[in-house]
Amino acid sequence: MSNISHFESRSGSITCTAEKVFPFVTNIRNFERFIPDGTIKNWQAERESCTFSVSMLGSVSLRVSQKEKFNKVVYNGDALKKNDFELVLHITDNNNAPAEVKVELNADLNPMMKMIAVKPIRQFLEMLIIEMEKFRDWEETKE
């Protein structure tokens, strides 16, 4: 990545502990639950990878590339037919109290693409945090 653009969400408080959220978010099949209907198409997922379509980007693939137990999950992604972004989920353990999450997106964007993408990326990160804060079924993982 040469023109790295960094975007970060706010911290959000979720309804479970870090010990419960970690296995849920490392199974990428559960990721679809945080995406509002109509946002993506052609969702296909396995435990550690998925593909889907997004208007303006086309086909996107995402895969789990790093796990730090109860602390962090890194997903690497391909869009526009090149390896160009990573999505990082930071989990803050609050000693058996509800955990906090923050999402970071690092993307290889030229200056023109960055100008176009800033607003949609910020909206996407905020939407992920909102959906995670509302979510209640952390123990119901998809298999």
Q: Global pTM?
A: 0.90
Residue stretches of the chain with pLDDT short of 50: 1
In a domain, 143, yes or no: no
Cβ 31 vs Cβ 62: under 8 Å: yes
**SS3 call for 131:** helix
Rounded to whole angstroms, how far apart are CA atoms 77 and 9? Answer: 18
The residue to which tokens 């992604």 are assigned: 77
Domain that holds residue 123: 4-134
In a domain, 71, yes or no: yes
In a domain, 32, yes or no: yes
Q: How many domains does the chain have?
A: 1
Round the CA-based radius of gyration of the chain to a whole number and report it: 15
